[in-house]
Structure 1
Amino acid sequence: MYSNLTPEMSAFSLCQEAESYLKAEKLDEAYLACEKALEILPFYPLACKSMGNILQVMGKLDEAINWYAQAIIQQPNWAEAYTNIGSLYAKQKNWQPAIACYEKAIELQPNLAGTYRNLSRICQQLGDLSLAKKYWLKAQKIESEKTALEKVNQGNILSDEGKTEDAISYYREAIELNPSLSEAYSKLAEVLVSQGKLKDAIDCYQSLIELLPKNWLIPHKLGKIFRETGKLNDAVETFELAIELNPKFPWSQKHLADILYEQGKLNRALTCYQKLMKSHPNIWDTYCKIGEIFIKQGEINQAVFVYRRGLKVNPNLARFHYKLGEALSKQQKWCAAIKAYHQAIELKADNYLFHFKLANALQNIGKLDEAIISYETAIEINSKSCWLYASLGQVYIQQKNWSYAVECFRQAIQIKPDYDKAYQKIAYIFEQLGDYEAAEKCRNKQELPY
């Protein structure tokens, strides 16, 4: 039957056969199968252990102990074999050798709940109730941890199947069984976040920080939730903890800097962004934010310098060219600004704001026909902006093209009926045309002439 197998495979199969016979209480057949395995591989550890199991059931305890001991000689770190010997010594009320075997088994494999229970029973026999209780509680803890892990695994399966509420229930049950099981909190937090239950997710992550105080990723995730829920001071504190634990992770630094920027704490934000730019020079948004801070602080030259550095990192980002154009416009370097706006448009032609700003710059250097084209392009992209029509109307006023100008301001008023400035502009136009009555009605009564 086993002629085509290697000796190891044949012996293993015979041991399995022996254990099956033993389970069926066919002791003779079990014994014979085990003997055959030992004939193929003398002192094969699994066969030695199986022989010990068989002899134990037969009541031949000393012989069983010898076979378990032989298994340990072949495989010294076999905790289960030590536990089996300990149990046989305990049956013989040979307490000290039993205790020694159980302790060795636990040393090799600390999560053997049954071994702790056996030790507890021996301590009860010896009258040491305090130690018996300690071992019993340890066994319960191990079993609850095992059950808790099973709950987490079941929760994972349910989560993968999209049964999130059921998964949440299993994760919570796991936490009840083992309040120190970090994996349960982590999985529960992830599902809660996916469900938008952020308050409960915050509680989970805060528990995780207590359980795993050196894990930087937990405060990073918690900080993101605090930011999303508008708890910016809490977010700042949490991101600072994440950075303290892992100073090399750039995104905690980026979140912290962004929040400080949103809070108007520009100097602190600038310090964070500059550190980030130094350590991670390829994060392009950092350059944008630093430039914006410099502009807010009136440091236009610094902003231009930073935007140009950013363009070296990502020359194909339209936003950089646009930001550079804005800074150059503040310096009234119109030709350079126009060049920057054109480059932004080449990269992203469907942004009406780029065309609008280009038109403004062209208007400032008197290139009114080109400005009109850019304003009209901006309006094609965004026809709902009253400001675009008003800006175009202003160029027509400069050209004294009164009818086109009036039509632009009419369009602006149609979009925004209370747009007072547009009425004032139309009034001005009719004054230039000598129609003072129409101008007065438009200025004072907001009545448009038709």
Structure 2
Amino acid sequence: MFRFFQKISKQVNKLNTFVNDYKSVAKEVSLPSYAYVNWGAQLAESGNEKDALEKFEQSAQMVNSTPEAFVNLGIIFARKGEFEQAIKYFKKALKIDDTYAKAWALLASAYSEVDEVREAKKAFKISLKFDKRNFHTYLNQGIFFAKIGETQEALSSLKNAYLLNPNEAQSVFLSGILYSQAADYGNAIKMFKLAINISPFHSEALYHLAYCYFQQKNYETAIGYAKKSRSANPTKIENYTIMAESYMALENKDECFKIYDEAKKAGLDSYKLSYSKGICYQAFDMWEEAIHIFKTLNQLDDSNVASHYALSLSYLKLDKKEEANKELLKVLELDPKHTVCMFNLAQLYLKEKKCDDAIFWYKKLLAADAKFVSAYFGIACAYQLKGDMQNAIKYWERAYEYDNKNIGALLNLANAYLSQNDLQMALRKARSAYLVDKKNPDVVMTYAIILLRGDNIYDAMEKFTEVLELKPDFVPARFALIECKIKTNKPKEAMAELEKYRDEYGQKREFVMLNLLAYLKIDEMEQNNYLSGQILDICDKILSTYGEDSWVQSVKEEFEKKQNNAECEG
């Protein structure tokens, strides 16, 4: 806020140029106060603040003291960070002249430094009342509004500053920063380009243009502006990271790592540059190289969250569970509210089937962010693994409450209710999912299966047909349609359809089970025992190949009795 104070003394100095001239003017009775003010200003400009302070104080103590003396005293203290003292002197200046716009502006800036928001707003307003065309006042008011988060007011004030001085790039540059922070990259780009039109070698404007284009995924343009920024400021590391990560996004591995080599040749090295290189290693599946970089960064600074978290992701990718666990816990030690880290740790425990540990971290995550929907999924899956379907359903329902368009929650709920034989609730959830996304084959398939379980056979057949329209080679849907044909008393058609898949799926359990169902339906319809032998052969094949099955065993026993009875009668 007070960066321009170093230039103030030049504006104040209106009488003479050299200290010796001030000494001679000080001998004049008519302007002693002004003489000391300007003498102090020259001393301040040369860096001699102690002597400058003495001259300003001498001027302030005179009977005919000017407000400028107190203003300059305030500036000296403001530059030292003693804002309360600066405020006192700016107020003294205003006691001499309460229409002095510059004193009001400086007072406003000092108030903003001590977070006196209301007083700062008031002082800026009064300053502009007395001087409506002051570029610096509008500029600093814009900075003040930005600081307190009033972005629109900041942009308005900065626009006024630009209109007053269109040859000064700072106002439009700061406007670009505000737009960029709000992720309004289109307007940010306009402002930064305007800054470059005013100041063609404005390296920061060039860099931020590169950054905005990078955020818009316009990587080629981002690279171009980063190169221009690098030409204007060869030591700015962010130019190298923008270029390298843009090449990374363009999947140009050689050019990506060439940038890091160029940075090394330029003698540049920093945490930020190494971290960026580690991220690029990850992007190109060079996980061991990434691990080496992040471990080195952690050795240099063990308190950095980003490098520990990046290291944990590398370990997770390589399925190094123990190392990943250690790094994730380290991240949470450094940043206990790192919700994504909590989620990854919980997922790791869930993968290892450590359900209680997983539930603990999911719930800890939800305590920090109740709308983290994936955590509800995780808890539900953990309870499902524990065999606690009631709690699983409870947490899938919560996920659905927070996101009633969430297909995953609806499908999981449908299947969970189906596992509990609650066909009514299963059908309700499946139908809701279908209404949200009728073009999702998984959704339509789930809906069809539940319809079939509820003996809504013709509706199920319609949905299985829809699945095949969306995904023509989806064999489970074709097998489901074959099952529907069996249930609608068309077993021979079903068997003919099955023959098309014998070579590829003849040894699959689903195929053999459908054959069994078809034979059973024919036996039921024709009421004779000539198929008993085939049915028993299929039952034996299922039990010997795929293991115990109580239903198949019961079918086998039933047809053995039928066969025995037939032999006795014969």
Same fold (TM over 0.5): yes
Equivalent position of 2:293 in the other structure: 204
Trace 1:99-248 onto structure 2 (pairs within 5 A).
150=235, 152=237, 155-156=240-241, 159=244, 162=247, 163-172=255-264, 181-248=270-337
Give yes or no for contact 2:298–2:307 (8 Å, CA) kept in 1: yes
Give yes or no for contact 2:444–2:467 (8 Å, CA) kept in 1: yes
Structure-2 separation of matches of 1:298 and 1:249 = 30
- The answer as to 2:414 corresponding to 1:325 is yes
For residue 190 of structure 1, what is the amino acid of its counterpart?
A: I
Equivalent position of 2:437 in the other structure: 348
For residue 407 of structure 2, what is the amino acid of its counterpart?
A: A
Deviations 1:319-372 (A, max 9, x none): 111111111001100011011001011112222222222222222222211221
What is the deviation of 1:36?
8.5
Structure-1 separation of matches of 2:22 and 2:314 = 61
Give yes or no for contact 1:385–1:412 (8 Å, CA) kept in 2: no
- 3-state SS of the aligned residue for 2:235? helix
Give yes or no for contact 1:11–1:37 (8 Å, CA) kept in 2: no
Give yes or no for contact 1:326–1:337 (8 Å, CA) kept in 2: yes
Per the alignment, do residues 229 and 316 of structure 1 end up closer, same or farther by CA in structure 2, a change over 3 Å counting?
A: same
Equivalent position of 1:73 in the other structure: 51
Equivalent position of 1:304 in the other structure: 393
Structure-1 separation of matches of 2:435 and 2:296 = 51
Segments of 5+ residues of structure 2 without an aligned counterpart are: 1-6, 26-34, 55-79, 81-233, 248-254, 541-570
Structure-2 separation of matches of 1:381 and 1:211 = 54
What is the deviation of 1:159?
3.2
Structure-2 separation of matches of 1:210 and 1:352 = 49
Give yes or no for contact 2:19–2:39 (8 Å, CA) kept in 1: no
What is the deviation of 1:160?
6.9
Per the alignment, do residues 396 and 210 of structure 1 end up closer, same or farther by CA in structure 2, a change over 3 Å counting?
A: same
What is the deviation of 1:151?
8.0
What is the deviation of 1:156?
4.2
- For residue 272 of structure 1, the aligned residue among 349, 355, 361 is 361
What is the deviation of 1:404?
3.7
Structure-1 separation of matches of 2:242 and 2:440 = 46
- 3-state SS of the aligned residue for 1:396? helix
- For residue 338 of structure 2, the aligned residue among 224, 243, 249 is 249
Give the TM-score normalised by structure 2.
Answer: 0.49
Give yes or no for contact 2:434–2:447 (8 Å, CA) kept in 1: no
Equivalent position of 1:368 in the other structure: 457
Structure-2 separation of matches of 1:201 and 1:319 = 33
Structure-2 separation of matches of 1:418 and 1:236 = 42
Highest relative contact order (Cα 8 Å, sep 6+), 1 or 2? 1
- For residue 8 of structure 1, the aligned residue among 7, 10, 14 is 10
What is the deviation of 1:214?
2.3
Segments of 5+ residues of structure 1 without an aligned counterpart are: 16-32, 50-69, 77-107, 109-148, 445-450
- The answer as to 2:478 corresponding to 1:386 is no
Structure-2 separation of matches of 1:312 and 1:352 = 24
The farther-off stretch of 333-342 and 231-240 is 231-240
User: Identical aligned pairs, as a percentage?
Assistant: 13
Per the alignment, do residues 248 and 423 of structure 1 end up closer, same or farther by CA in structure 2, a change over 3 Å counting?
A: closer
Structure-2 separation of matches of 1:407 and 1:274 = 53
Structure-2 separation of matches of 1:409 and 1:269 = 44
The farther-off stretch of 264-273 and 181-190 is 181-190
Number of matched pairs:
327
Structure-1 separation of matches of 2:408 and 2:500 = 30
The farther-off stretch of 190-199 and 217-226 is 190-199
Structure-1 separation of matches of 2:292 and 2:22 = 57
Structure-2 separation of matches of 1:373 and 1:321 = 21
- The answer as to 2:375 corresponding to 1:286 is yes
